[in-house]
Structure 1
Amino acid sequence: MPVLFVLLWSTGFIGARFGLPYAEPFTFLTIRFLCTLVVLYLIIRVMREIWPRTLKAWLHIAVAGVLVHAAYLGGVFSAIDQGMPAGVTALIVGLQPLVTACLARSWLGERINRNQWIGIILGLAGITLVLGEQLDLADPATLFTGFGPMALLAALLALLGIAVGTLYQKRYCTEMPLTTGTFIQFVGASLVLGVAALVFETREIEWTPTFVLTLGWLIFGLSIAAILLLMALIRRGEASRVASLFYLVPPVTAVEAWILFGERLGPMALTGIAVAVFGVAMAVRQPADAKP
């Protein structure tokens, strides 16, 4: 499950790069989520899934959806749309495990052991090495070439959204039915992004073959398969351990970008991938005396 999740989740940045030339970010995501709701509803009807029983549960699940889907994806897509390279965006949101681990310690009372902290630090170092080749570190002024402070703010919002959303769901939505809960999350996210599209965008879409294929992949590969995997992983493990999987996303994204767009992977990037993989292995490894 973790390997499949990382592979699916990493294609989100690639999909954003493919689809954003044909639709504005909030409009793009609103259409994606509405289509996802149709697919999820059919799955729920066929499988006869149960729904949360209380209004309080519905509200908690909707809030988690706004954080995990609307804030995170809205921030990522907005940052890329405003000119921030996908690699830089991935690097910023790749800080999520650090943020999640620190918040989990105080909010959920989770204990982060020494090996986990070392793994988290190694993962961050690995991401920096992998994506560092895409930045002109010799001249700090070029770090913001092509994008301004609003793109940076959008990426930081995405980082905060996924970190807080992971913890919020772990604390308040542990008994959430998987498919119906995900449906409710997308309803909340669709409402927020739909309002944002009405207020800030023209809502024009170019229905090219590239856009349609990209939209289809993001619906079935990301919004259905990857999100259901994420919900299951959060429910099965500690929030900090689940978050550490996100360390692998930027390196995998870099490999995909190399295959699809010809982006070069040099020795520093290859070293970073190895460091990140080792860091994740340390961060997610259960202690020998842990109870099953």
Structure 2
Amino acid sequence: MPVVFVLLWSTGFIGAKFGLPYAEPFTFLFIRFALTVALLTPLVWMLKIAWPSSPVLWTHIAVSGLLVHGTYLGGVFYGISLGMPAGLAALLVGLQPLLTAACAGPLLGERLAAQQWLGLVLGLVGISAVLGSQLELGESLFSGFGIGALVSVMAALVGISLGTLYQKRFCTQMPLLSGAVIQYLAAGGVLGIGALLFETREVTWTLTFVLTLGWLVLILSIAAILLLMALIKRGEASRVASLFYLVPPVTALQAWWLFGERLSWIGLGGMAVAIAGVVLTVRKPAVHTSAT
């Protein structure tokens, strides 16, 4: 089940690549979130899942949704729409545990062990190698995409990192399914405003777009959440967390197969170093005890 969950999760980047030729990013996400809310809300009632107990918790959940779904997915989809490869976008936002660990000290009072600092350094070295492998001197800043795509995906990385910390700090009592409805409502509302202000809101309803939208709504936004609920109930959430390290390479493999996206050997090596850095950062340091 954890392996299936991570495989499903990695297809979100591929879905963006498939769907964005037919709809602008904010419009695409608004439609996705609206359909998800329309399907999830009756499911909450059918399963008799409780809603958050206080207006304060509703507000905190909405804020976390703006960060975790609005800023994160908005940034990823916008960056891919500007030409960033799906595999590279997955790697960049996959550094979220590193940024979260770096921010946990000043924000939550958590201290990093030496092993975790090493992980942060390796992550930065790895991602520098990947980005460096994309450079083409004398042409655009990055091969196939500009600085705007990089800024957008980095904003997504900051959003998911801050959203994770915010949710950990203020949303520990959030019911997963009903809380997801609130998060999607908040994120969808803001992205809808973005679509009104900055996009034409034109959608080409091809079979590819409809199938992609159906996959993202039914499989990613609903089935993956239900699967995560089952994993948490079975106490396997930690296995999911460890397998998340495989999302960037799995996405890169899918993007190579479907779209011909490639990384040089330097880029592939950098990806491996970055993933190793994430593993070191999130793994709990061993505690040594002396014999008595």
Give me the TM-score of the superposition, normalised by structure 2. Answer: 0.83
Q: Shift of the alpha carbon at 1:9?
A: 2.8
Alpha-carbon deviations, 1:2-27, whole Å to 9, x = none?
Answer: 64454333222211110000011111
Instruction: Tell which deviates more after alignment, 197-206 or 244-253.
Output: 244-253
Q: Shift of the alpha carbon at 1:74?
A: 0.8
Q: Could you tell me which runs of 5 or more consecutive residues in structure 2 were left unpaired when the two chains were aligned.
A: none
Q: Which residue of 2 aligns with 1:224?
A: 222
User: How many positions carry a matched residue from both structures?
Assistant: 286
**Whole-angstrom distance in 2 between the partners of 1:41 and 1:29:** 18
- Contact 2:78–2:149 under 8 Å retained in 1: yes
**Whole-angstrom distance in 1 between the partners of 2:146 and 2:257:** 28
**Whole-angstrom distance in 1 between the partners of 2:156 and 2:36:** 20
- CA gap of 1:69–1:177, structure 2 versus 1, over 3 A, is same
Match of 1:169 among 167, 176, 180: 167
Alpha-carbon deviations, 1:95-142, whole Å to 9, x = none?
Answer: 433321111111112232222232343344445556654x136x2753
Instruction: Tell which deviates more after alignment, 145-154 or 25-34.
Output: 145-154
- 3-state SS in 2 of match to 1:98: helix
Q: Which residue of 2 aligns with 1:90?
A: 90
Alpha-carbon deviations, 1:230-283, whole Å to 9, x = none?
Answer: 79999x99xxx96x8765432221111122223346544554454445444433
Instruction: Tell which deviates more after alignment, 3-12 or 161-170.
Output: 3-12
Q: Which residue of 2 aligns with 1:109?
A: 109
**Whole-angstrom distance in 2 between the partners of 1:71 and 1:194:** 13
Match of 1:262 among 250, 260, 265: 260
Q: Which residue of 2 aligns with 1:51?
A: 51
Q: Which residue of 2 aligns with 1:204?
A: 202
Give me the TM-score of the superposition, normalised by structure 1. Answer: 0.83
User: What residue identity is the alignment partner of 2:135?
Assistant: D
**Whole-angstrom distance in 1 between the partners of 2:84 and 2:37:** 29
Q: Which residue of 2 aligns with 1:282?
A: 280
Q: Which residue of 2 aligns with 1:154?
A: 152
**Whole-angstrom distance in 1 between the partners of 2:212 and 2:85:** 18
- Contact 2:87–2:249 under 8 Å retained in 1: no
Q: Which residue of 2 aligns with 1:41?
A: 41
Q: Shift of the alpha carbon at 1:76?
A: 1.2
Match of 2:188 among 187, 190, 193: 190
Alpha-carbon deviations, 1:120-171, whole Å to 9, x = none?
Answer: 43344445556654x136x275333554443333223212211111111010
- Contact 1:247–1:280 under 8 Å retained in 2: yes
